[in-house]
Amino acid sequence: MYKWIIVGGGIHGCTVAVHLLKSGKAKLDELLIIDRYKNPLHKWSMITNRIGMDYLRSPSVHHIDKRPFSLQDFANKHGEGSVFLGIYKRPLLDLFNHHCQTLLNSLSIEKVWHQAEVTDIHSTNSGWQISTNHNVLLESKYVVLALGVNEQPALPEWAASLRNKAPDKIRHIFEEQLGEVKEEGNICIIGGGISAAHLATKLCATSNKQVTLIKRHPFRVHDFDSDPGWLGPKFLVKYHKETDYHKRRLIINQARNRGSVPRKTFLKLRKCQAQNQLEVIDDEIQTASYSEDRFHLSFEKSDSKDFSFIWLATGAQSCLPENQLLEKLIKREKLPCAECGFPIVNKELEWKEGLYVTGALAELEIGPVSRNIAGARKAAAILVSLRAISE
């Protein structure tokens, strides 16, 4: 029996694991991370590489280690002290990834890694039992659900039929590659947020054809995807006084700068436009069809356009992550949920005795930053400070 099982080995799961190990709340033989992928941070690495991210949006103090200045110290130690951008010291992606990998290797994370898909979770008299797709039963006193939202990409309604007709020519950036991606000819990107912006600047640099970015709204320029005041008491004191979870959801939705880009990224896009590498269309897609190896899109206001490849950078579905797994768990264990379907947890992020959450599942408690790296750090700090958990 394990002391801790973490379900999910992305940014959130790895941050919790690092904090548990470094704080002494767990030893290697007491901890297990279950993830469907072979290596830690697989989805993070795949998506950031695919869209061509260069610098993170978050500042240098947001990373997976326990010490706030660990990333800056790492950069200085390895002679990489100049790889931070702007006044917020946004780290170069390569530096961030190097830091993550070095840290995880130093803690021998591979010894606690279990590649599998969790198919069911049950409470027991002594804790929790987890079933996997390999017909393995695992038991733990405590379980942390660190489930990512990007396993469930959001698709525009018009995209479904087109994907059936040309699956190799219309892809969502969150999806694992199923066969060859034929990214050629006139390329279209659907989306107005930072992922779409990164992908657009990458393709402008690598394609000899014009790239088109289609979004429903003008550029929304914000350095962060929510006000930094949500990291501390400035906004959270009032937020935690709100006991109506429907109102908390409304506050979160209003606080998030959805579909926004940092100013430096916005300026890169403007440069691509000025060099006639990028066309930007702010409009609603009315109809979409596919014939003779071309996608034909018509718009509400603009002239129709033909494309040979479409990237969907349209984010994740708004439902619970891993919703089939969680729906069974919620029903069986009678777990409290808000009107929006997300967990109602206590201040220690506990959903039921011994069952904890982080990431999107913790946002009604942590607030608008919960899904971000900063939210992962806040959740990890809460979990290692639990009074009920003996060292």
**What is the helix, strand, coil percentage profile of the chain, to 5?**
35, 25, 40
* C-beta atoms surrounding 107 within 10 Å: 17
Encoding tokens for residue 130? 């987890």
Q: For the residues 291-320, what does the mean pLDDT come to?
A: 94
pLDDT in tens, 121-157: 999 999 999 999 999 999 999 999 999 999 999 999 9
Alpha-carbon distance of 363 to 164, in angstroms, equals 35
DSSP secondary-structure letter at 176? P
**pLDDT top residue among 246 and 185:** 246
The chain-wide mean pLDDT, for the chain, equals 94
Residue 78 confidence (pLDDT)? 83
By three-state DSSP, how is residue 131 classified? strand
Alpha-carbon distance of 17 to 321, in angstroms, equals 20
**pLDDT band for position 184 (cuts 50, 70, 90):** confident
Encoding tokens for residue 317? 């579905």
Phi, psi (deg, nearest 5) at residue 173: -65, -20
**pLDDT top residue among 389 and 226:** 226
pLDDT in tens, 39-48: 999 999 999 9
User: What pTM, to 2 d.p., does this model score?
Assistant: 0.95
Residue 181 confidence (pLDDT)? 65
| Continuous segment of H or E residues that includes residue 6 | strand 2-7
DSSP secondary-structure letter at 35? E
What domains are there in the chain, each with its CATH number?
2-151+317-384 (3.50.50.60), 159-222+257-312 (3.50.50.60)
* Highest mean pLDDT pick, 4-18, 159-173, 308-322: 4-18
**pLDDT band for position 388 (cuts 50, 70, 90):** low
